[in-house]
Amino acid sequence: MPREELARFLRDRRQGLSPHEIGLPASAPRRTPGLRREEVAELAHMSVDYYTRLEQARGPRPSPRILDGLARALRLTPSERRHLFQLAGSMAPPGTAAERRVRPRVGRMLERLPETGAIVTDATYDVVAWNPLAQALLGDDFGHGTANLARRRFLGQGRTYESSSSEEFGYIVVARLLRAAERYPHDSRLTALLAELRGGSEEFRQIWETRPVHAPGHRTKILNHPEAGQLRLNCDVLFVPEDDQEVVLITADPGTPSAQALRTLAVRSP
């Protein structure tokens, strides 16, 4: 086990995490950036002495239980969690849940796209971030933070529009949920979602049985919008692999009536 590398990794992650990010109340300015060692130790359910020895490269090889506690305390992404286990010479078990936080840089990117609809979905197809144009295009329920594209597609929840890509999207949704079920077998929200979809949609059950393998990429679809009319839209997907999230960018070809309609919707958006 490379103790020095493990110690450096722990120090770097602790110093890069602000008290606000873990819900600690604001206090007087700190002499050093990030969390204190005792705060990490408390969050990870271990003694301060044990954690201090890990940071000083003097500790024993931590067990998977200890590593999992550290990953949660330091708010590590899935890739950072795997790296932590590798440094400690252990095999990382599957993550307990899909990552539902959106990185600040991804959120800021959405704000810089005024004439592009943009949403971020996690591995369970929860919409975890969006911009105003996406909300104008796809429905006001995005603003409540409860939209799930799998529920929309198979259960008709939320605002739904007639779209030329509905059938293909069903297979894409199921393929991604299959991958999520393999990666996050202990995610209770995902388990509940799959049970809901199986119980409420015969189509979902039939597609699930085929074990589809579909990957999102560039697609063009026709969307019938109640205000803007028929729109020909391009959908492109960017991956955020470290968080197992996808950024969906919705645009129209320049100079087309659909592009003008998007521009009009963008002006009306709050």
**How many independent structural domains does the chain possess?**
2
- pLDDT tens, residue by residue, 143-157: 555 689 999 899 988
Quick one: pLDDT band at residue 173, thresholds 50, 70, 90? very high
For the domain that residue 57 is a member of, what is the CATH number? 1.10.260.40
The alpha carbon of 267 is separated from its chain's Cα centroid by a whole number of angstroms, namely 28
**Token digits of residue 71:** 């990953």
Is pLDDT of 186 > 90?
A: no
On whether both 239 and 108 belong to a single domain, the answer is yes
On whether both 161 and 261 belong to a single domain, the answer is yes
On whether both 137 and 77 belong to a single domain, the answer is no
Residues with Cβ within 8 Å of 188's Cβ and at least 6 positions away in sequence, in order, are: 97
Residues with Cβ within 8 Å of 57's Cβ and at least 6 positions away in sequence, in order, are: 3, 4, 6, 7
Global model pTM greater than 0.75: no
For the domain that residue 246 is a member of, what is the CATH number? 3.30.450.180
How far is it, in rounded angstroms, from Cα 12 to Cα 124?
30
For 117, counting Cβ atoms within 10 Å of its Cβ (0-12 exposed, 13-18 middle, 19+ buried), the class is buried
**pLDDT at residue number 200:** 94
The CA-CA-CA angle for residues 37, 68, 99, to 5°, reads 100
Mean pLDDT of 197-203: 96
- pLDDT tens, residue by residue, 67-98: 989 988 898 877 788 888 888 888 766 566 77
Instruction: Find tokens 């078990």 and name the residue.
Output: 93
Range of the domain at 74: 3-87
How far is it, in rounded angstroms, from Cα 19 to Cα 165?
44
Is pLDDT of 1 > 60?
A: no
Domain presence at residue 250: yes
On whether both 72 and 122 belong to a single domain, the answer is no
On whether both 130 and 156 belong to a single domain, the answer is yes
